[in-house]
Amino acid sequence: MMELEMAIREYMLGRPVIKIEREEEDFMGEIVDANRGIIYGQIEVSDEGKLTNIMIDIEEITDNNDISLDEYEELELEDLKEMAEEFAEEFCSGDLRYVNVQQWIGDTILVTFEQFDHQLNLPLPNSGAQVEINRQGFIVSATLNQTYYQLTYPEITVTAEQAKATLANELLLKREIEETPDKLHIVYVPKNRFTAVGVDGKVTTVFDPDAEEELPKKAIEAVTVTKSLPELLGIDSDMVFTDEEDVQTWTSPTDDSIYVRIDRSDAYETMYESVKPWDETQPELSIAELEDNAKQFLELVVGEIHTKFELEEQLEEEEPELTEEELAYFRAIEEAMAEEDDEFDDDDEFEDEDDNDFEPFRTFSFLRTVQGIPVDEYNIHVDIGTYTGHIKDCTVTRVNEAVIENFSTDDVEVSLEEANKRYIDALQLRLARAIESQDDFPIYTLVYEIIFNDGQSILEKIESNTGEFIFEDLYLED
């Protein structure tokens, strides 16, 4: 552990004396000032003890030490790439090569390194390291892939040109609606950004471990309201009501940490929040009950939701099958947590600790449509407490109904079919490695991936009124 502490310290602003606090069986740990106990960041390690994630809070370092980023000059891009590479090579196993650099959050950049298929000279996605570094050359965060992998070499039976011809029979775009200040208009976007063509000539979807799963959607039937808004929010009759500058609050007369709030101070949205006690000894409500509460709530605050939204379906969580060793491991953790709880119960210092806002919840996503076309700006996500059934948190965008009523497709100059043809004509295909399976470790196959501008850009949308392609640049210039 001391060796890891010394290595991490070299990449931190001011090189403070640190220690890593981590229980032997835990994968997570904290980077702590060795003298004052201030937490400067977090780490995660693999089951082999190798660093897999790190996050350093530079603001926490500057706030608690006589040091400022202003004391350091901003470095050139090449210098930053070299420093990121040094970090990646020190902490990540395997032969890594630089792939690209992106502008990241605020004034930081994200440098990506991957392992390579040396036979075909192709990078292996998600096999190396992503290092976030600020302009002064200090590491902010990093993700290091420390897993084994396998390469397969399927027979390449089609060329890139033949693969592109296969796509000519596919509808790769879909319609969406965007909002401008005074109207809604149609744009065309890729149906799936992970579409590719296998080297056998079949259209396929590339697996991306970082991509969120797209859940199926279902229509909403007309909602019968049987509950009131106060009931759904958990407003009790004895709560103290205040109304100040379009913020309505109901507070427990005995505990200020128990409250319900409706905030209409923003001209464009209304926020709902409920923090109420909950009893984990009670059974959790079923998904059907929670969904019904979410629909009734939205019917009360929006109205006619069956004509305005689709509902993202909830998937039942399957209990994983565990080995005897895994079961023993988790039993040991539960016993340790129970012992800690017993200690806390015996300590007066923890008697007033407030757990009201930690009720588990389930999120229901209502996807807005106009004339059956998605309008992502108007999507609404409702968090429902799984024990109380109360609306825990929700932000409802205030929709200009006049704009929706005036929506027309008269300005569509380029049809979906024509845009799709232009999209296929403009795209490029290049041979690439893609993850085929990741049950135990990544297995890489070969595909032709869709790229634009030699892989430097992704297509954001095609305007339906002009046919213009709108791209997003992915990488900084080397």
In a shared domain, residues 388 and 446: yes
Alpha carbon distance 432, 411 (integer Å): 39
In a shared domain, residues 34 and 182: no
> What's the burial of 26, exposed, middle or buried (CB within 10 Å: 0-12/13-18/19+)?
exposed
**300 belongs to a structural domain:** yes
Q: What is the DSSP string of 165-210?
A: HHHTTS--EEEEEEE-SS-EEEEEEES-TTEEEETTS-EEE-B-TT
**309 belongs to a structural domain:** yes
In a shared domain, residues 141 and 211: no
Q: How many residues does the chain have?
A: 478
Within 13 Å, how many C-alpha atoms sit on residue 457's CB side?
13
In a shared domain, residues 366 and 448: yes
Q: Which amino acid is at 22?
A: R
Which of 130, 147, 164 corresponds to the end of one domain? 147
Whole-prediction pTM: 0.81
In a shared domain, residues 224 and 140: no
Alpha carbon distance 41, 30 (integer Å): 6
Could you tell me the two tokens for 25?
């069986």
**345 belongs to a structural domain:** no
**CA distances for 73 relative to 69, 80, 136, angstroms:** 8, 12, 6
Left if phi > 0, otherwise alpha if psi is -120 to 50, otherwise beta: which for 237?
Answer: alpha
**50 belongs to a structural domain:** yes
**CA distances for 335 relative to 47, 339, 340, 342, angstroms:** 21, 6, 9, 11
Could you tell me the two tokens for 382?
């409702």
Left if phi > 0, otherwise alpha if psi is -120 to 50, otherwise beta: which for 41?
Answer: left
Within 13 Å, how many C-alpha atoms sit on residue 57's CB side?
16
Which residues, 6 or more positions from 175, have their beta carbon under 8 angstroms from its beta carbon? Answer: 186, 187, 188, 373, 374, 416, 464
**321 belongs to a structural domain:** no
Question: How many structural domains is the chain composed of?
Answer: 2
In a shared domain, residues 126 and 187: no
In a shared domain, residues 128 and 164: no
**16 belongs to a structural domain:** yes
Tell me the residue range of the domain where 366 lies. 150-313+355-478
In a shared domain, residues 307 and 184: yes
Alpha carbon distance 443, 144 (integer Å): 18
Left if phi > 0, otherwise alpha if psi is -120 to 50, otherwise beta: which for 425?
Answer: alpha
DSSP, collapsed to helix, strand or coil, labels residue 293 as helix
In a shared domain, residues 182 and 272: yes
* pLDDT the model gives residue 143: 95
Q: Are 398 and 265 in contact (CB under 8 A)?
A: no
Q: Are 445 and 423 in contact (CB under 8 A)?
A: no
**48 belongs to a structural domain:** yes
Per the listing, tokens 């464009």 go with: 268
Per the listing, tokens 């780490």 go with: 43
Per the listing, tokens 């009201």 go with: 356
Q: Where are the alpha helices (DSSP H) in 216-286?
A: 229-233
Residue among 81, 83, 150 nearest 115 (CA): 150
Q: Are strands 259-263 and 247-251 parallel, antiparallel or unpaired?
A: antiparallel
DSSP E strands: which ranges in 313-375? 361-370, 373-374
* pLDDT the model gives residue 349: 43
Q: Cα-flanking dihedrals φ and ψ of residue 314, to 5°?
A: -90, 135
In a shared domain, residues 131 and 176: no
Q: What are the residues facing 207 on neighbouring strands? A: 435
* pLDDT the model gives residue 478: 55
In a shared domain, residues 218 and 77: no
Q: With residue 289 as reference, give the H or E element that holds it.
A: helix 287-301
**CA distances for 311 relative to 237, 314, 374, 401, angstroms:** 32, 9, 12, 20
Which of 121, 147, 173 corresponds to the end of one domain? 147
Alpha carbon distance 477, 77 (integer Å): 9
Alpha carbon distance 399, 381 (integer Å): 15
* pLDDT the model gives residue 208: 79
Mean pLDDT, 10 residues at a time, the chain of 478 residues: 86 92 84 93 90 95 93 94 95 91 91 96 95 95 92 96 95 93 90 94 87 84 96 96 95 95 94 94 94 97 95 69 51 54 47 58 95 92 96 92 86 94 96 88 95 93 95 82
**327 belongs to a structural domain:** no
* pLDDT the model gives residue 227: 97
Which of 125, 147, 169 corresponds to the end of one domain? 147
In a shared domain, residues 94 and 234: no
